[in-house]
């Protein structure tokens, strides 16, 4: 039996609707606040710059907030919610506890934004812009940030535990965890170039510097052991730079280190360990511009993970709690 032209049209229309609604990125736009908050970018940028001038590492910490927000039920500001006696947020989840930082800077940005344009800009969008501004301030590429995300009223510690990959993962487990949020292997290898800035704690690289002598440059192992004792519980929070040479410059040195067996985390070295991502790491290690253009594309893609839009969620007044 042939479909009538009318029901055919209805099906085509439905298919289009499903396509557009399914690709939620179609709802974000670079001009979302151009009328409602024309000074948004300059307001955020000046707070980001002053925070980074006080402490260069802050740029790395702010960039990481965006990753840890987006991987857990989408880029919805859920990471920023504080725990209360009746609410368990994501800050004490395994990948975040004693590790994610920069919440005070986000508070300062939010206050400045609320002063400029009250009740219109979401915390989720603030961390998307803040991540871009941090990268730019540390010498990396710029891009136009898609906006229009709204803030979640909820958070999930369980999802934070299970969705953010730990540094003990092997390559195939890392590929799966990025694929679970719609990011490709190429997106992953470009995004992890973020480890060209920032610091890691001894507890996250101890096993590597004592036990992975086959895949770790011995002089780096010696150096890192000096400030990371081999006993669990001792010196756990001692810091070392993820990129040993230029930890406050957003460059492609991270990949050069991987090629030289100088990845600090087990997960870092997985990207150059005889597997499918070796050739991409080599490409990025020699070409800064290929890295930066792939990085930008992947940041935009990460920012499109399941945003709340329209009338879903809310615009929080204070990033630490639901209104």
Ligand X SMILES: *[C@@H]1O[C@H](CO)[C@@H](O)[C@H](O)[C@H]1NC(C)=O
* Contact set with ligand HEM (CB under 6 A): 57, 60-61, 63-64, 67, 99, 101, 165-167, 174, 188, 191-192, 194-195, 197-201, 204, 265, 267
Specify the long-range contacts of residues 299-302, CB closer than 8 Å, at least 24 apart. 299/131, 299/132, 299/135, 299/143, 299/191, 300/143, 300/146, 301/182, 301/183, 301/187, 302/66, 302/67, 302/70, 302/75, 302/181, 302/183, 302/187, 302/191
- Pick 61 or 246: Cβ nearer ligand HEM: 61
Q: Which residue, 270, 299, 269, 294, is CA-closest to 283?
A: 294
**Contact, 191 vs 71, CB < 8 A?**
no
The answer to whether 238 contacts ligand X (rule: CB under 6 A) is no
Q: Which residue, 195, 153, 127, is CA-closest to 322?
A: 153
Piece of the chain touching ligand X by CB under 6 A; list 31-39, 128-136, 157-165, 235-243: 157-165
- Name the residue with the smallest CB distance to ligand HEM: 198
Of the listed 57, 64, 68, 262, which one is catalytic? 68
Q: Which of 173, 213, 226, 227 binds ligand X (CB under 6 A)?
A: 173
**CB of 292: closest distance to ligand X in angstroms?**
30
Q: How many residues bind ligand X (CB under 6 A)?
A: 13
Q: Which of 27, 181, 199, 210 binds ligand X (CB under 6 A)?
A: 210
Of 93-132, which residues contact ligand X (CB under 6 A)? 93-94
- Pick 37 or 296: Cβ nearer ligand HEM: 296
Helix (H) / strand (E) containing 200: strand 199-201
Residue 67 binding: pick among ligand HEM, ligand X, none (C-beta 5-8 Å cut-off by kind) = ligand HEM
Interatomic CA distance for residues 149 and 29, integer angstroms:
10
Start-to-end CA span in the chain (Å): 55
Residue 230 binding: pick among ligand HEM, ligand X, none (C-beta 5-8 Å cut-off by kind) = ligand X
**CB of 90: closest distance to ligand HEM in angstroms?**
15
Q: Which of 84, 170, 184, 279 binds ligand X (CB under 6 A)?
A: 170
**CB of 215: closest distance to ligand X in angstroms?**
13
**Contact, 150 vs 308, CB < 8 A?**
yes
The answer to whether 230 contacts ligand X (rule: CB under 6 A) is yes
Catalytic, 266? Answer no
Give the DSSP letter of residue 183.
Answer: -
Query: For residues 18, 30, 193 and 301, what is the CA-based torsion angle, rounded to 10 degrees?
Result: 0
**CB of 300: closest distance to ligand X in angstroms?**
29
Interatomic CA distance for residues 82 and 261, integer angstroms:
39
Residue 198 binding: pick among ligand X, ligand HEM, none (C-beta 5-8 Å cut-off by kind) = ligand HEM
**CB of 96: closest distance to ligand X in angstroms?**
9
Question: What is the distance of C-alpha 193 from the center of its chain?
Answer: 11
DSSP string, 252-316: SHHHHHHHTT--SSHHHHHTTSSSTTHHHHHHHHH-HHHHHHHHHHHHHHHHTSS-B-TTSSB--
Residue 267 binding: pick among ligand HEM, ligand X, none (C-beta 5-8 Å cut-off by kind) = ligand HEM
* 190 class by beta-carbon count within 10 Å (0-12 exposed, 13-18 middle, 19+ buried): buried
Q: Which of 27, 161, 288, 290 binds ligand X (CB under 6 A)?
A: 161
Q: Which of 50, 119, 172, 179 binds ligand X (CB under 6 A)?
A: 172
Footprint of ligand X on this chain (CB under 6 A)?
A: 93-94, 157-158, 161, 170, 172-173, 206-207, 210-211, 230
Question: Residues with catalytic annotation?
Answer: 68
């Amino acid at each position: 039996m042939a479909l009538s032209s009318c029901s055919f049209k209805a099906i085509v229309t439905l298919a289009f609707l499903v396509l557009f609604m399914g690709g939620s990125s179609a709802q974000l736009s670079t001009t979302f606040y151009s009328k409602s908050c024309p000074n948004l970018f300059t307001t955020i940028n000046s707070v980001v710059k002053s925070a980074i001038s006080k402490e260069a590492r802050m740029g790395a910490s702010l960039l990481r907030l965006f990753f840890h927000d987006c991987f857990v039920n989408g880029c919805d500001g859920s990471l920023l919610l504080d725990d209360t006696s009746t609410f368990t947020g994501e800050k004490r989840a395994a990948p975040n506890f004693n590790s994610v930082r920069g919440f005070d800077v986000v508070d300062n940005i939010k206050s400045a934004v609320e002063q400029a344009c009250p009740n219109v800009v979401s915390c989720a969008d603030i961390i998307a812009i803040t991540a871009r501004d941090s990268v730019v301030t540390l010498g990396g590429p710029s891009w136009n940030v898609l906006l229009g995300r709204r803030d979640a009223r909820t958070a999930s510690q369980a999802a934070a535990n299970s969705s953010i990959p730990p540094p003990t993962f092997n390559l195939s487990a890392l590929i799966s965890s990025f694929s679970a949020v719609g990011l490709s292997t190429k997106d992953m290898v470009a995004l992890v170039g973020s480890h060209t800035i920032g610091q890691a704690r001894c507890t996250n690289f101890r096993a590597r510097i004592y036990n992975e002598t086959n895949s770790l440059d011995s002089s780096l192992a010696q150096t890192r052991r000096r400030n990371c004792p081999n006993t669990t519980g001792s010196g756990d929070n001692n810091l070392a730079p993820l990129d040993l040479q230029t930890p406050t410059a957003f460059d492609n040195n991270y990949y050069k280190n991987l090629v030289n067996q100088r990845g600090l985390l087990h997960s870092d070295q997985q990207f150059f360990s005889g597997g499918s991502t070796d050739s991409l790491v080599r490409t990025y290690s020699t070409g800064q511009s290929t890295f930066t253009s792939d990085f930008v594309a992947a940041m935009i893609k990460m920012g499109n993970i399941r945003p709340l839009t329209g009338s879903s969620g809310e615009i929080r007044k204070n990033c630490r709690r639901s209104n």
